[in-house]
Chains A and B, each alone.
Chain A
């Protein structure tokens, strides 16, 4: 089961990978980057260009976060 959020987060970055993020004022430390992919569509309306990361955190939760322009968002949480 997954849940969708689309909420803003802040991300710490190191050595070309995301290190940790803060969501709803709680810090989540990233223990592994499971997947990374790029989406670039809808350029004929308002372009969607995103870098996605599926990450595992220290609370054993799996999260999908993405960067769009200069902002980061949490897209979904895997239960």
Chain B
């Protein structure tokens, strides 16, 4: 027997088992095939196919869809279900089309009319569905004629490929329904097949499914809903379990089993061979895609390589011939066209990913990194044996990325282009809230508990809740009692009062209305009391078959433990579909025949597959990503041009300016792309990159792969000449020479497999992918075997081969590719260059684009100040909407102030025109700002240039708002009578002004919070961050600062990393797990901290290993005047 109606957890919040586990169960039951029929979707189909292939089972692709029936017919069931199975490629295309129509026409409630479905029935087998199928629902309502008519309608469309589905879940009326369906089939001349509407693999998973449906319907477990099941019989049953449930004659049952086999035999679809051609690019008359591509490449090569060398020309010819052989000329032209559009519209972009390995991509302008100069490997990008399409990621100026997406969607039309999906999965916090709500916890209890959870997986939940003492919560304390409701009738039916289900009797009992678990915990009829207390031990004499076994022990005890257990199961489960950020599919044939589409919440068309699935199906995916750094570079360059009249050729810098590397090596990298984090500070201090090639390595080094693999330390030792450069094997000298014998880049994995183990580039790439995708023991063993055997075959020692495999296996999933690092390195250099030579414009651009870099706005402002650049506060007569550079200083932008929008800020600038605002009433009348916005501006000193005390201005606003009319024209200046008797109000103190700055702006141009604590801290003997430099490593000190960053990287073995800041600098602080646990709530809950610890040092980079922590606010006092900051920045002489 084969299961043909099966839901995985990709039937969102309805199925409880992932596709691969369903396959495993089918395999364990020795079933030769399995179907997957999720609701309106093929979300899990690729995963399903892969698992089926791995286990040697035939996969059958299908879906369960809802039909929209004629609303005029009141007797028609609402959205009846139908199961569709694809027999072949045409069936698959039709299935995609049907699902897409259902989804696109009805965004939140997918359905399709039978008449719309009919034209696309070729290649599809239809099953009449579960109780919600049209035929079954008519029968359940006693409408036999309508049921027969419906069956005939389907038979008209699908002919011999329409089957009546028989299911039996041991519900009171199932046997009657089966008989009625069988009768209909006979009358209509149709055949029957058995199925189980599987929603999970194992019986006990019915609990998880229960919870999922509660989440879906927003009910609690105590409330019944239509889609809940009254028992746990909807699992992937064996043939014998099915036989026992149906209790039919053997002859009949075997016939229906045979039907499943017949249907399975007729379905033969190889999904993973479905690929799609890239759209045929329209080329000028007389040209072919190849000839046009060739011409463009020649032109680009001549432009970029002066003079053109034989090496370049040979490589170009080599790549072009492979491109032609693989039929990818159109693909490259599509990408070239997208970049061309961006460039022509002034949208900054940078290509990366393995595409940067190719010279064709370089000369077409897709990437900005010269592969010849940087020793990049083309075969990483493209080789004839490579499975799947090439990988082209392009970063665009994030502010204008949408324009590029629109261009693509318009040019290729909705028929051929759509966004790629991203399946949002459950994480512990989201799972926790939903599950706790379903179990019946009150909202306040949920909030309290959820705040204890971090963003780590659900497996840590127990630990986190135990630590905070919440795990001991008993049912009485959980306030669940108040949430329970009396069970409505539906539940009563399920408990066996359910003869009412078939409508033949009413359950009028002698006793009180009984629902043994309604309302409070004490059941009314003594079910758990008297009867259980004194059972007359039943004599169940088993002769022959024994009665069904009692169910398993049941879930864990307290409600909270139940929630945790369920969350652990839900962790990683699909929750809903969302857009992948920038992935786009472009196809030659209509998209709806290749992959089903639906609408994202925003109304954008998205395909149902995620980026990995798309790749596995051989579809062309472009990544249109937004990078804020590109916006920053763009804005900085514009400011230099507009402010200084200088046109910077930022894309053609020489990449070797020592002054730029000086700054990088000094770790003063706040604001510089990729290398500004405190972790990078110490790495830079150790590695000291001085060339562009060094920079590429720097970016690739600070990644989980090399860090965990232990490559960083040896590399640095070798680089500094403190360790000898050795190679694991002479064959590896060529590919590891420039990284001093250490594997750092993904391409090197390929080269090791090729040079050392003798695999072809195609096989090497396949191995690399396999290692990075697969995680199970069995799969990794296969990969190990392939590598080791090939190496041994060409004469390498087995032990060495095993060791080499371990090295690359550990690394494969995580390492950076050199081309990607090279592309990034270019941007790193550009931003470093800007910081060195045009710091005011650069930092102003960063501040305008916040949040974007690692640090909050205030830190960037402090960095500017330490760099020697004054930051000027908002001024209604000087500021524009965004931050600007003003005579070598930075002027804060109006948008920094709360209450100002883009529109209102622009309006202020426009109203100001060439005539400054002279008074408050002048300002009021010429702009249309809200009163709140004006008050906020006054509070932060934006009107200080008027020369009037802020308190008086605030007082005056009241009056002005009431009596000064608004005028649009900037030339009409109203000089309101200054003879108002304004009271004499004291000026604001520095502390008050700083407070207003931070509350209205989140940052202050003038003040540093810590400078107000400084006197108090000095009196207590605490050091400022700047003065830590003078203390030797290993010494114990106490210092304090505002927490600007908190991290617990998963690769760091439980370490916690903070960054504290004061008016003199930033200090990285590390806490061992035990120290963190001891001070958890202080560390997590305080905005400022006092820490005691030992000094660590790496060149100029000082950090602290903390041993004790206190909250700042409760131990230090604020003064009304700040203590001026020391002139020495952390470790550096003033610039």
Expressed in whole angstroms, the minimum distance between the Cβ of B220 and any Cβ of chain A is 10
Q: With A7-B531, A8-B535, A8-B538 in contact, is A75–B505 under 8 Å at CB?
A: no
Partner of B528, one of A37, A41, A46, A66: A46
Contact B538 A41 (CB under 8 A): no
Q: For residue B548, which residues in chain A have a CB less than 8 angstroms away from its CB?
A: 38, 51, 67
Q: With A4-B510, A4-B511, A50-B496 in contact, is A67–B547 under 8 Å at CB?
A: yes
Q: For residue A16, which residues in chain B have a CB less than 8 angstroms away from its CB?
A: 244, 544-545
Contact B540 A13 (CB under 8 A): yes
> How many angstroms between the C-alpha atoms of A1 and B247 in the bound complex?
29
Expressed in whole angstroms, the minimum distance between the Cβ of A63 and any Cβ of chain B is 12
| CB-based nearest A residue for B512 | A4
A7-42 contact mask (Cβ, 8 Å, vs B): 1 or 0: 111111111100000000000000000011111111
Partner of A38, one of B231, B514, B528, B562: B231
Contact B547 A48 (CB under 8 A): no
Is the C-beta of B399 less than 8 angstroms from some C-beta in chain A? no
Q: With A39-B231, A41-B491 in contact, is A13–B542 under 8 Å at CB?
A: yes
Is the C-beta of B469 less than 8 angstroms from some C-beta in chain A? no
Partner of B170, one of A9, A38, A70, A71: A38
Query: Which B549-602 residues have a C-beta within 8 angstroms of A?
Result: 550-551, 554-555, 559, 562
Contact B206 A40 (CB under 8 A): yes
Contact B517 A69 (CB under 8 A): no
Which has the most chain A C-beta neighbours within 10 Å: B491, B494, B547? B547
Q: For residue A4, which residues in chain B have a CB less than 8 angstroms away from its CB?
A: 507, 509-511, 514, 525
Q: For residue A69, which residues in chain B have a CB less than 8 angstroms away from its CB?
A: 550
Contact B550 A73 (CB under 8 A): no
Is the C-beta of B217 less than 8 angstroms from some C-beta in chain A? no
> How many angstroms between the C-alpha atoms of A16 and B540 in the bound complex?
12
Partner of B496, one of A39, A45, A72, A78: A39
Contact B174 A3 (CB under 8 A): no
Is the C-beta of B230 less than 8 angstroms from some C-beta in chain A? yes
Is the C-beta of B434 less than 8 angstroms from some C-beta in chain A? no
> How many angstroms between the C-alpha atoms of A13 and B184 in the bound complex?
35
Count of A-B contacts with CB under 8 A? 136
Q: For residue A42, which residues in chain B have a CB less than 8 angstroms away from its CB?
A: 517
Partner of A15, one of B171, B526, B544: B544
Is the C-beta of B649 less than 8 angstroms from some C-beta in chain A? no
Contact B543 A52 (CB under 8 A): no
How many A residues are at the interface, by size bracket?
Answer: 35 or more
Is the C-beta of B614 less than 8 angstroms from some C-beta in chain A? no
> Could you name 8 residue pairs across A and B whose Cβ atoms are closer than 8 Å?
A4-B514, A6-B531, A11-B538, A36-B175, A38-B548, A52-B172, A70-B550, A76-B509
Contact A37 B543 (CB under 8 A): no
Q: With A10-B538, A12-B541 in contact, is A43–B494 under 8 Å at CB?
A: no
> How many angstroms between the C-alpha atoms of A67 and B507 in the bound complex?
20
| Other A-B pairs, 19, CB within 8 Å; known A11-B540, A76-B507 | A2-B499, A2-B507, A3-B509, A4-B510, A6-B527, A6-B531, A7-B531, A8-B535, A9-B538, A10-B536, A11-B539, A14-B544, A16-B244, A36-B247, A37-B170, A37-B171, A39-B496, A40-B230, A49-B550
Q: With A39-B230, A44-B221, A51-B548 in contact, is A78–B505 under 8 Å at CB?
A: yes
Expressed in whole angstroms, the minimum distance between the Cβ of B558 and any Cβ of chain A is 11
Contact B535 A6 (CB under 8 A): no
Expressed in whole angstroms, the minimum distance between the Cβ of A71 and any Cβ of chain B is 5
Expressed in whole angstroms, the minimum distance between the Cβ of A18 and any Cβ of chain B is 8
Q: For residue A37, which residues in chain B have a CB less than 8 angstroms away from its CB?
A: 170-172, 174, 231, 496, 498
| CB-based nearest A residue for B546 | A13
Contact B210 A45 (CB under 8 A): no
Contact B233 A38 (CB under 8 A): yes
Partner of A1, one of B494, B496, B508, B546: B508
Q: For residue B541, which residues in chain A have a CB less than 8 angstroms away from its CB?
A: 12-14
Partner of B538, one of A35, A50, A72: A72
Q: For residue B555, which residues in chain A have a CB less than 8 angstroms away from its CB?
A: 43-44, 47
Q: With A38-B170, A46-B528, A51-B548 in contact, is A64–B496 under 8 Å at CB?
A: yes
Is the C-beta of B807 less than 8 angstroms from some C-beta in chain A? no
Q: With A43-B210, A78-B505 in contact, is A13–B543 under 8 Å at CB?
A: yes
| CB-based nearest A residue for B509 | A4
Chain A residues packing against B (C-beta within 8 Å): 1-4, 6-16, 35-52, 54, 64, 66-67, 69-73, 75-76, 78
Contact A2 B509 (CB under 8 A): yes
| CB-based nearest B residue for A49 | B551
Q: For residue A50, which residues in chain B have a CB less than 8 angstroms away from its CB?
A: 496
Is the C-beta of B232 less than 8 angstroms from some C-beta in chain A? yes
How many B residues are at the interface, by size bracket?
Answer: 35 or more
Contact B527 A8 (CB under 8 A): no
**Which 9 A-B residue pairs are closest in the complex by CB-CB distance?**
A16-B545, A38-B170, A4-B509, A40-B231, A49-B551, A15-B544, A37-B172, A38-B231, A14-B543
Is the C-beta of B516 less than 8 angstroms from some C-beta in chain A? yes
Expressed in whole angstroms, the minimum distance between the Cβ of A64 and any Cβ of chain B is 7
> How many angstroms between the C-alpha atoms of A6 and B174 in the bound complex?
24
Q: With A37-B172, A47-B551 in contact, is A15–B508 under 8 Å at CB?
A: no
> How many angstroms between the C-alpha atoms of A73 and B1069 in the bound complex?
67
Q: For residue A73, which residues in chain B have a CB less than 8 angstroms away from its CB?
A: 531
Q: For residue B221, which residues in chain A have a CB less than 8 angstroms away from its CB?
A: 44
> How many angstroms between the C-alpha atoms of A20 and B439 in the bound complex?
40
Contact A41 B550 (CB under 8 A): no
> How many angstroms between the C-alpha atoms of A72 and B542 in the bound complex?
14
Expressed in whole angstroms, the minimum distance between the Cβ of B590 and any Cβ of chain A is 46
Expressed in whole angstroms, the minimum distance between the Cβ of B244 and any Cβ of chain A is 8
Q: For residue B172, which residues in chain A have a CB less than 8 angstroms away from its CB?
A: 35, 37, 52, 54
Q: With A45-B517, A52-B172 in contact, is A40–B551 under 8 Å at CB?
A: yes
Expressed in whole angstroms, the minimum distance between the Cβ of B522 and any Cβ of chain A is 12
Q: With A2-B508, A15-B545, A76-B509 in contact, is A43–B495 under 8 Å at CB?
A: no
Query: Which B229-265 residues have a C-beta within 8 angstroms of A?
Result: 230-233, 244, 247
| CB-based nearest B residue for A73 | B531
| CB-based nearest A residue for B172 | A37
Q: For residue A71, which residues in chain B have a CB less than 8 angstroms away from its CB?
A: 531-532, 535, 538
> How many angstroms between the C-alpha atoms of A45 and B532 in the bound complex?
17
| CB-based nearest B residue for A22 | B539
Q: For residue A76, which residues in chain B have a CB less than 8 angstroms away from its CB?
A: 507, 509
Q: With A4-B509, A43-B207 in contact, is A72–B540 under 8 Å at CB?
A: yes
Contact B494 A41 (CB under 8 A): yes
Q: For residue A48, which residues in chain B have a CB less than 8 angstroms away from its CB?
A: 495, 516-517
> How many angstroms between the C-alpha atoms of A11 and B509 in the bound complex?
24
Q: For residue A49, which residues in chain B have a CB less than 8 angstroms away from its CB?
A: 550-551
Q: With A8-B538, A15-B543, A44-B439 in contact, is A39–B175 under 8 Å at CB?
A: no
Q: For residue A46, which residues in chain B have a CB less than 8 angstroms away from its CB?
A: 517, 528, 554
Q: With A4-B509, A64-B496 in contact, is A70–B491 under 8 Å at CB?
A: no
| CB-based nearest A residue for B563 | A44
Contact B544 A43 (CB under 8 A): no
Expressed in whole angstroms, the minimum distance between the Cβ of A52 and any Cβ of chain B is 5
